[in-house]
Amino acid sequence: MAYENLLFEIRDGVGLITLNRPKALNALNSALLTELGHLLDEIAVNEEIRAVVITGSGDKAFAAGADISEMQPMTAMEGRKFSANGMNAITKLETIPQPTIAAVNGFALGGGCEVVLACDIRVASTKAKFGQPEVNLGVTPGFGATQRLPRLVGAGIAKELLLTGDVINAERAHQIGLANHVVEPEELLNKAFEIANKIASKGQLAVKMTKQGVNEGLNMDVERGLQYETELFALSFSTEDQKEGMAAFLEKRAAAFKGK
Ligand code: CAA
Protein backbone atom coordinates (compact mmCIF):
# COMPACT_ATOMS: atom_id res chain seq x y z
CA MET A 1 0.00 0.00 0.00
CA ALA A 2 1.23 3.53 -0.78
CA TYR A 3 1.24 5.98 2.10
CA GLU A 4 0.79 9.74 1.71
CA ASN A 5 1.38 10.78 5.31
CA LEU A 6 3.99 8.24 6.36
CA LEU A 7 7.39 7.13 5.17
CA PHE A 8 8.43 3.54 5.72
CA GLU A 9 11.59 1.59 5.10
CA ILE A 10 13.23 -1.55 6.43
CA ARG A 11 16.89 -1.42 7.46
CA ASP A 12 18.41 -4.81 8.31
CA GLY A 13 15.24 -6.18 9.86
CA VAL A 14 14.28 -2.93 11.61
CA GLY A 15 11.26 -0.99 10.31
CA LEU A 16 11.51 2.81 10.33
CA ILE A 17 8.17 4.67 10.35
CA THR A 18 8.33 8.44 9.83
CA LEU A 19 5.25 10.56 10.53
CA ASN A 20 5.36 12.82 7.51
CA ARG A 21 3.32 16.03 7.53
CA PRO A 22 6.19 18.41 8.34
CA LYS A 23 4.30 21.57 7.32
CA ALA A 24 1.74 20.86 10.06
CA LEU A 25 4.44 19.63 12.50
CA ASN A 26 3.30 16.06 11.69
CA ALA A 27 -0.13 16.68 13.24
CA LEU A 28 -2.15 13.48 13.31
CA ASN A 29 -5.13 13.77 11.00
CA SER A 30 -7.59 11.00 10.17
CA ALA A 31 -5.78 10.07 6.97
CA LEU A 32 -2.44 9.66 8.74
CA LEU A 33 -3.97 7.64 11.56
CA THR A 34 -5.77 5.32 9.14
CA GLU A 35 -2.55 4.81 7.21
CA LEU A 36 -0.68 4.10 10.44
CA GLY A 37 -3.22 1.41 11.36
CA HIS A 38 -2.82 -0.24 7.93
CA LEU A 39 0.96 -0.06 8.04
CA LEU A 40 1.06 -1.62 11.51
CA ASP A 41 -1.20 -4.45 10.31
CA GLU A 42 1.35 -5.14 7.56
CA ILE A 43 4.30 -4.92 9.96
CA ALA A 44 2.66 -7.23 12.52
CA VAL A 45 2.64 -10.18 10.08
CA ASN A 46 6.00 -9.44 8.45
CA GLU A 47 8.54 -11.80 10.03
CA GLU A 48 11.41 -9.98 8.33
CA ILE A 49 10.76 -7.03 10.68
CA ARG A 50 12.14 -7.70 14.17
CA ALA A 51 11.81 -4.22 15.72
CA VAL A 52 10.28 -0.87 14.75
CA VAL A 53 11.54 2.68 15.20
CA ILE A 54 9.05 5.55 14.85
CA THR A 55 10.01 9.21 14.44
CA GLY A 56 8.78 12.48 12.93
CA SER A 57 9.95 14.17 9.75
CA GLY A 58 11.74 17.51 9.88
CA ASP A 59 13.80 18.83 12.76
CA LYS A 60 11.02 20.42 14.77
CA ALA A 61 8.38 17.87 15.67
CA PHE A 62 7.74 14.21 16.36
CA ALA A 63 4.03 15.14 16.18
CA ALA A 64 2.43 18.32 17.58
CA GLY A 65 -0.80 16.51 18.39
CA ALA A 66 -4.03 15.52 16.75
CA ASP A 67 -4.94 17.83 13.87
CA ILE A 68 -6.68 20.83 15.43
CA SER A 69 -7.99 22.23 12.12
CA GLU A 70 -9.68 18.89 11.38
CA MET A 71 -11.09 18.57 14.93
CA GLN A 72 -12.34 22.14 15.47
CA PRO A 73 -15.75 21.79 13.72
CA MET A 74 -16.45 18.22 14.86
CA THR A 75 -19.64 17.11 16.59
CA ALA A 76 -19.43 14.77 19.57
CA MET A 77 -20.12 11.76 17.35
CA GLU A 78 -17.44 12.84 14.91
CA GLY A 79 -15.06 13.34 17.84
CA ARG A 80 -15.82 9.79 18.99
CA LYS A 81 -15.06 8.42 15.53
CA PHE A 82 -11.83 10.44 15.35
CA SER A 83 -10.75 9.15 18.76
CA ALA A 84 -11.64 5.54 17.89
CA ASN A 85 -9.55 5.72 14.70
CA GLY A 86 -6.57 7.12 16.61
CA MET A 87 -6.98 4.66 19.49
CA ASN A 88 -7.09 1.81 16.99
CA ALA A 89 -3.83 2.81 15.29
CA ILE A 90 -2.00 3.71 18.48
CA THR A 91 -3.11 0.58 20.33
CA LYS A 92 -1.77 -1.45 17.39
CA LEU A 93 1.58 0.21 18.00
CA GLU A 94 1.40 -1.02 21.58
CA THR A 95 0.29 -4.54 20.71
CA ILE A 96 2.15 -5.50 17.52
CA PRO A 97 4.45 -8.41 18.34
CA GLN A 98 7.66 -6.53 17.48
CA PRO A 99 9.15 -4.12 20.03
CA THR A 100 8.72 -0.45 19.14
CA ILE A 101 11.06 2.43 19.89
CA ALA A 102 10.02 6.08 19.69
CA ALA A 103 12.80 8.40 18.50
CA VAL A 104 11.41 11.72 19.70
CA ASN A 105 13.03 14.43 17.58
CA GLY A 106 11.02 17.49 18.68
CA PHE A 107 7.51 18.36 19.89
CA ALA A 108 5.55 15.33 21.09
CA LEU A 109 2.36 17.01 22.25
CA GLY A 110 -1.16 15.69 22.78
CA GLY A 111 -1.71 12.86 20.30
CA GLY A 112 2.01 12.97 19.49
CA CYS A 113 2.89 12.23 23.11
CA GLU A 114 0.22 9.51 23.07
CA VAL A 115 1.99 7.79 20.16
CA VAL A 116 5.20 7.94 22.19
CA LEU A 117 3.44 6.48 25.26
CA ALA A 118 2.29 3.44 23.27
CA CYS A 119 5.86 2.53 22.28
CA ASP A 120 7.89 0.04 24.29
CA ILE A 121 11.01 2.21 24.59
CA ARG A 122 11.48 6.00 24.25
CA VAL A 123 14.62 7.82 23.14
CA ALA A 124 14.51 11.64 23.15
CA SER A 125 16.72 14.20 21.48
CA THR A 126 17.80 17.13 23.65
CA LYS A 127 15.35 19.17 21.52
CA ALA A 128 12.33 17.01 22.37
CA LYS A 129 9.38 18.53 24.23
CA PHE A 130 6.58 16.49 25.75
CA GLY A 131 3.15 17.48 26.98
CA GLN A 132 -0.57 16.85 27.04
CA PRO A 133 -1.93 20.35 26.31
CA GLU A 134 -5.50 19.23 25.53
CA VAL A 135 -6.94 21.22 28.46
CA ASN A 136 -5.75 24.39 26.70
CA LEU A 137 -8.12 23.49 23.87
CA GLY A 138 -11.09 22.58 26.04
CA VAL A 139 -10.82 18.84 25.38
CA THR A 140 -9.56 15.74 27.12
CA PRO A 141 -6.82 13.56 25.64
CA GLY A 142 -8.32 11.19 23.09
CA PHE A 143 -5.59 8.73 22.13
CA GLY A 144 -4.80 7.11 25.48
CA ALA A 145 -2.89 9.56 27.71
CA THR A 146 -5.27 9.39 30.69
CA GLN A 147 -4.56 5.65 30.85
CA ARG A 148 -1.01 5.16 29.58
CA LEU A 149 0.68 8.20 31.15
CA PRO A 150 -0.20 7.30 34.78
CA ARG A 151 0.82 3.69 34.17
CA LEU A 152 4.21 4.88 32.94
CA VAL A 153 5.10 7.76 35.28
CA GLY A 154 2.66 7.31 38.18
CA ALA A 155 -0.66 9.02 38.80
CA GLY A 156 0.70 12.08 40.62
CA ILE A 157 3.11 13.25 37.92
CA ALA A 158 0.68 12.23 35.18
CA LYS A 159 -2.14 14.26 36.70
CA GLU A 160 0.07 17.33 36.95
CA LEU A 161 0.97 17.07 33.26
CA LEU A 162 -2.59 16.28 32.17
CA LEU A 163 -4.27 18.94 34.31
CA THR A 164 -1.84 21.83 33.73
CA GLY A 165 -1.04 21.13 30.08
CA ASP A 166 2.60 21.93 30.92
CA VAL A 167 5.19 21.16 28.28
CA ILE A 168 8.38 19.56 29.64
CA ASN A 169 11.85 19.21 28.16
CA ALA A 170 13.78 16.02 27.50
CA GLU A 171 15.73 16.19 30.76
CA ARG A 172 12.52 16.35 32.82
CA ALA A 173 10.99 13.58 30.69
CA HIS A 174 14.03 11.46 31.50
CA GLN A 175 13.72 12.25 35.22
CA ILE A 176 10.11 11.05 35.35
CA GLY A 177 10.68 7.93 33.24
CA LEU A 178 8.94 9.24 30.14
CA ALA A 179 12.21 9.08 28.18
CA ASN A 180 14.59 6.14 28.61
CA HIS A 181 17.53 8.01 27.07
CA VAL A 182 18.34 11.59 26.02
CA VAL A 183 20.87 12.13 23.25
CA GLU A 184 22.05 14.91 20.95
CA PRO A 185 19.76 15.37 17.93
CA GLU A 186 22.33 13.98 15.48
CA GLU A 187 22.63 10.82 17.60
CA LEU A 188 18.90 10.19 17.95
CA LEU A 189 18.33 7.66 15.17
CA ASN A 190 21.67 5.98 15.85
CA LYS A 191 20.67 5.41 19.48
CA ALA A 192 17.18 4.16 18.54
CA PHE A 193 18.68 1.80 15.93
CA GLU A 194 21.36 0.63 18.36
CA ILE A 195 18.60 -0.54 20.71
CA ALA A 196 16.48 -1.93 17.86
CA ASN A 197 19.42 -3.85 16.37
CA LYS A 198 20.27 -5.32 19.75
CA ILE A 199 16.68 -6.54 20.15
CA ALA A 200 16.69 -7.83 16.54
CA SER A 201 19.73 -10.01 17.32
CA LYS A 202 17.95 -11.96 20.09
CA GLY A 203 15.65 -14.98 19.92
CA GLN A 204 12.60 -13.43 18.27
CA LEU A 205 9.94 -15.68 19.75
CA ALA A 206 11.32 -14.98 23.23
CA VAL A 207 11.37 -11.23 22.48
CA LYS A 208 7.74 -11.27 21.31
CA MET A 209 6.54 -13.38 24.23
CA THR A 210 8.37 -11.16 26.69
CA LYS A 211 6.68 -8.04 25.28
CA GLN A 212 3.35 -9.84 25.48
CA GLY A 213 4.05 -10.90 29.05
CA VAL A 214 4.61 -7.32 30.19
CA ASN A 215 1.66 -5.90 28.25
CA GLU A 216 -0.84 -8.56 29.28
CA GLY A 217 0.51 -8.71 32.82
CA LEU A 218 -0.10 -5.00 33.36
CA ASN A 219 -3.82 -5.72 32.92
CA MET A 220 -3.85 -8.60 35.43
CA ASP A 221 -3.43 -8.87 39.16
CA VAL A 222 0.10 -9.93 40.14
CA GLU A 223 -0.85 -13.53 40.95
CA ARG A 224 -2.40 -14.13 37.52
CA GLY A 225 0.43 -12.21 35.87
CA LEU A 226 3.01 -14.49 37.48
CA GLN A 227 1.04 -17.56 36.38
CA TYR A 228 0.93 -16.11 32.85
CA GLU A 229 4.71 -15.72 32.95
CA THR A 230 5.09 -19.40 33.86
CA GLU A 231 2.94 -20.34 30.84
CA LEU A 232 5.04 -18.15 28.50
CA PHE A 233 8.24 -19.60 29.97
CA ALA A 234 6.94 -23.14 29.35
CA LEU A 235 5.92 -22.17 25.80
CA SER A 236 9.43 -20.88 25.09
CA PHE A 237 10.72 -24.44 25.67
CA SER A 238 8.75 -25.57 22.62
CA THR A 239 10.95 -23.40 20.36
CA GLU A 240 14.13 -24.33 18.49
CA ASP A 241 15.57 -21.02 19.67
CA GLN A 242 15.50 -22.20 23.30
CA LYS A 243 17.48 -25.34 22.44
CA GLU A 244 19.90 -23.31 20.32
CA GLY A 245 20.28 -20.44 22.82
CA MET A 246 21.09 -22.73 25.72
CA ALA A 247 23.32 -25.04 23.64
CA ALA A 248 25.25 -22.01 22.39
CA PHE A 249 25.82 -20.83 25.96
CA LEU A 250 27.09 -24.26 27.04
CA GLU A 251 29.31 -24.56 23.95
CA LYS A 252 30.64 -21.00 24.51
CA ARG A 253 29.61 -19.73 21.07
CA ALA A 254 27.18 -17.16 19.69
CA ALA A 255 23.62 -18.41 19.24
CA ALA A 256 22.23 -18.68 15.70
CA PHE A 257 18.57 -17.95 16.33
CA LYS A 258 16.02 -18.79 13.64
CA GLY A 259 12.87 -17.35 15.17
CA LYS A 260 11.36 -20.84 15.36
N1 CAA B 1 -2.90 20.52 14.45
C2 CAA B 1 -2.92 21.15 13.27
N3 CAA B 1 -1.93 21.97 12.85
C4 CAA B 1 -0.90 22.17 13.69
C5 CAA B 1 -0.82 21.54 14.93
C6 CAA B 1 -1.88 20.68 15.32
N7 CAA B 1 -1.87 20.00 16.45
N8 CAA B 1 0.31 21.94 15.55
C9 CAA B 1 0.93 22.78 14.70
N10 CAA B 1 0.20 22.92 13.58
C11 CAA B 1 0.50 23.75 12.41
C12 CAA B 1 0.27 25.21 12.71
O13 CAA B 1 -1.10 25.54 12.58
C14 CAA B 1 1.15 25.87 11.67
O15 CAA B 1 0.47 25.82 10.43
P16 CAA B 1 0.53 27.12 9.45
O17 CAA B 1 1.99 27.26 9.09
O18 CAA B 1 -0.33 26.69 8.30
O19 CAA B 1 0.03 28.28 10.23
C20 CAA B 1 2.33 24.91 11.56
O21 CAA B 1 1.88 23.66 12.09
C22 CAA B 1 3.53 25.35 12.39
O23 CAA B 1 3.08 25.56 13.73
P24 CAA B 1 3.35 26.91 14.56
O25 CAA B 1 3.45 28.06 13.62
O26 CAA B 1 2.34 26.96 15.65
O27 CAA B 1 4.80 26.58 15.12
P28 CAA B 1 5.46 27.19 16.46
O29 CAA B 1 6.90 26.78 16.41
O30 CAA B 1 5.12 28.60 16.63
O31 CAA B 1 4.75 26.39 17.68
C32 CAA B 1 3.88 24.44 18.79
C33 CAA B 1 4.94 24.99 17.80
C34 CAA B 1 4.16 24.97 20.18
C35 CAA B 1 4.02 22.91 18.77
C36 CAA B 1 2.47 24.86 18.32
O37 CAA B 1 2.33 24.54 16.96
C38 CAA B 1 1.36 24.21 19.08
O39 CAA B 1 1.08 24.57 20.21
N40 CAA B 1 0.66 23.22 18.44
C41 CAA B 1 -0.50 22.60 19.02
C42 CAA B 1 -0.13 21.66 20.13
C43 CAA B 1 -1.37 21.04 20.73
O44 CAA B 1 -2.19 21.69 21.33
N45 CAA B 1 -1.50 19.68 20.60
C46 CAA B 1 -2.60 18.97 21.14
C47 CAA B 1 -3.67 18.78 20.10
S48 CAA B 1 -5.13 18.06 20.77
C49 CAA B 1 -4.88 16.40 20.79
O50 CAA B 1 -3.82 15.93 20.45
C51 CAA B 1 -6.06 15.59 21.24
C52 CAA B 1 -5.85 14.16 21.40
O53 CAA B 1 -5.27 13.66 22.34
C54 CAA B 1 -6.43 13.23 20.43
pLDDT at 226: 98
* C-beta of 104 in contact with ligand 1 (< 6 A): no
Mutate to test the pocket of ligand 1, among 68, 85, 90, 114 (most ligand atoms within 8 A of CB): 68
* C-beta of 67 in contact with ligand 1 (< 6 A): yes
Q: At 8, is the secondary structure helix, strand, or coil?
A: strand
Q: How far is the CA of 233 from the centre of ligand 1 (A)?
A: 45
Tell me if 26 sits within 8 A of 102, measured CB to CB: no
First and final CA of the chain: distance in angstroms?
28
ipTM entry: 0.98
pLDDT at 248 over 80: yes
**Domains present along the chain, CATH in parentheses:** 6-200 (3.90.226.10), 204-250 (1.10.12.10)
pLDDT tens figures, 65-124 = 999 999 999 999 999 999 999 999 999 999 999 999 999 999 999 999 999 999 999 999
Alpha-helical regions (H) of the chain:
30-44, 68-71, 76-95, 111-118, 145-153, 155-164, 170-175, 188-200, 204-217, 222-236, 240-250
- Determine the average pLDDT of the residues in 181-202: 98
pLDDT tens figures, 47-63 = 999 999 999 999 999 99
Predicted structure pTM score: 0.97
pLDDT at 191 over 80: yes
Residues β-bridged to residue 107: 61, 129
- How do 129-131 and 167-169 pair as beta strands? antiparallel
Task: Give the C-alpha separation, 99 to 204, whole Å.
Answer: 10
Tell me if 103 sits within 8 A of 53, measured CB to CB: yes
